[in-house]
Amino acid sequence: MFTRAESLPPHFNLLAITPQLFALERTRDWQAAALTCALSYEGLQASIAQAETEYGKKLVVPGYPFAGFTASGEQVLEWAHKLTDSVEELKHIFAASRKKAAVGFLIDRRSVSPKRLGLPGPQIEDIDLMTEAALAAPDHGNLHPWRLLTFAPHQRQALARLFMEEKLRRDPLASRADIDRAMEHATRSPVLLAFIVSLQERKNIPFREQWLCAGAAIGNFLNAAHQLGFGGILLSGDRCFDPLLKEALGVGHHEFLAGFISLGSIAMAPPPRRKPPAQRMRSQWESVFPNADVPVPVSGAAEVVSKGTGNPA
């Protein structure tokens, strides 16, 4: 990183003269350097003379043709390179910072467990905004193979009873504490939704792609909740596979109860999330024919992209 040298006069504008110095260093010719800087020969001479006056020493060996830099000029040129490197480094740092800030809300998003959620919860208008974000997720064929099921506050106790009954069907010897915990899952968070995956038979859109779409939708939904200032989490578990619970919730035979979304204000921040380095999640493809030279026609590649295999997401 560049630090201003003690011998560099405070009124010497190194940044202003740097392009001219670099042009002279690169071309070793007054006329070519002037052309590079969009100056006349006289204009370049005047700029150098002004810099020498500010610095108090000759920077360029006098005369024509160009005869090189003086010792002081070489020192200033070295400082100019350090300054330029520092400026480029700062540009890179600022650019990286701006990029990270642009996706910071995604990087920082954390699932927040129901015990860390409190009032107020999102209003129906907020949930509609989250749903709009979910609808913007990649979706081959625009099938929207998912839906949300809401529970009004006065319905939460009835849902808790359904959770209790499911727990007893799964574990008839469940303790009172286990039953209470199962019921609490239905009542603890300020807002609770069921996320239901509704797969559709389509010849060119396999179920695995529809599952991917549903997963992307729930990701967008929770990201939107985070952006609106709420915490959220999707919890599934054994109860999501219980036929009687699914029937009571109106989940059809062709549908899957993927889980329950808890939403609310963040009363307690979740602990930091341990994530692997991003570089660990990618790898470079190695051709099975490493020594083969198989050129790919640009027109052919463009044709494949233009034709595509499905609707744009």
Which one-letter DSSP state was computed for residue 102?
H
Note the pLDDT of residue 154.
95
Note the pLDDT of residue 213.
97
Kindly state the tokens that stand for 30: 């007054």
* Domain end marker among 266, 283, 306: 266
Residue 200 has pLDDT above 90, yes or no: yes
pLDDT grade for 290, boundaries at 50, 70 and 90: low
In this predicted model, what pLDDT tens digit does every residue of 156-198 receive, in sequence order? Answer: 999 999 999 999 999 999 999 999 999 999 999 999 999 999 9
CA–CA separation, 77 and 126 (whole Å): 59
pLDDT grade for 2, boundaries at 50, 70 and 90: very low
What percent of the chain is helix, strand and coil (3-state, nearest 5)?
A: 55, 10, 35
Note the pLDDT of residue 291.
66
Verdict on whether the full-model pTM lies above 0.85: no
Note whether 129 and 228 are within 8 A (CB). Answer: yes
Structural domain span for residue 63: 14-102
Amino acid at 15: L
Q: How far is CA 213 from CA 8, 15, 140, 141, 277, in A?
A: 61, 53, 8, 10, 26
Asked if residue 144 is part of any domain, the answer here is yes
Residue 137 has pLDDT above 80, yes or no: yes
CA–CA separation, 308 and 313 (whole Å): 12
* Domain end marker among 66, 84, 102: 102
In this predicted model, what pLDDT tens digit does every residue of 9-31 receive, in sequence order? Answer: 778 888 899 999 999 999 999 99
Residue 261 and residue 121 share a domain: yes
Residue 156 and residue 117 share a domain: yes
Sorted by sequence, the CB contacts under 8 Å of residue 222 that are 6+ apart come out as 109, 111, 130, 232, 233, 234, 261
pLDDT, average across residues 88-115: 87
H helices of the chain, in order, are 14-27, 30-36, 41-55, 71-102, 104-108, 124-135, 156-170, 176-187, 207-227, 243-248, 298-307
Question: In this predicted model, which residue has the larger pLDDT, 90 or 282?
Answer: 282
Residue 57 has pLDDT above 70, yes or no: yes
Note whether 176 and 206 are within 8 A (CB). Answer: no
CA–CA separation, 248 and 18 (whole Å): 76
Question: In this predicted model, which residue has the larger pLDDT, 185 or 108?
Answer: 185
pLDDT grade for 305, boundaries at 50, 70 and 90: very low
Question: In this predicted model, which residue has the larger pLDDT, 122 or 273?
Answer: 122
Residue 127 and residue 86 share a domain: no
Domain count, the chain: 2
Residue 211 has pLDDT above 50, yes or no: yes
Residue 80 and residue 223 share a domain: no
The CATH number of the domain where 61 resides is what?
A: 1.10.10.10
Residue 183 and residue 91 share a domain: no
Question: In this predicted model, which residue has the larger pLDDT, 98 or 246?
Answer: 246
Asked if residue 305 is part of any domain, the answer here is no
* Domain end marker among 102, 121, 138: 102
Residue 141 and residue 86 share a domain: no
Residue 232 has pLDDT above 80, yes or no: yes
- 183-187, 196-200, 201-205, 256-260: range with lowest mean pLDDT: 201-205
Asked if residue 204 is part of any domain, the answer here is yes
Residue 311's φ and ψ, nearest 5 degrees, are -75, 150
Amino acid at 69: F
Asked if residue 273 is part of any domain, the answer here is no
Using the structure block, give the residue that is written with the tokens 């003269």: 17
Residue 74 and residue 220 share a domain: no
What dihedral angle (degrees, nearest 10) is formed by the CA atoms of 219, 222, 223, 228? 160
Residue 146's φ and ψ, nearest 5 degrees, are -160, 165
Residue 235 and residue 160 share a domain: yes
In this predicted model, what pLDDT tens digit does every residue of 261-275 receive, in sequence order? Answer: 999 999 999 988 888
Neighbours of 166 (CB within 10 A): 22
Note the pLDDT of residue 304.
47
Asked if residue 311 is part of any domain, the answer here is no
237 Rama sector, left if φ>0, alpha if ψ -120 to 50, beta otherwise: left
Kindly state the tokens that stand for 19: 């392009």
Residue 197 and residue 55 share a domain: no
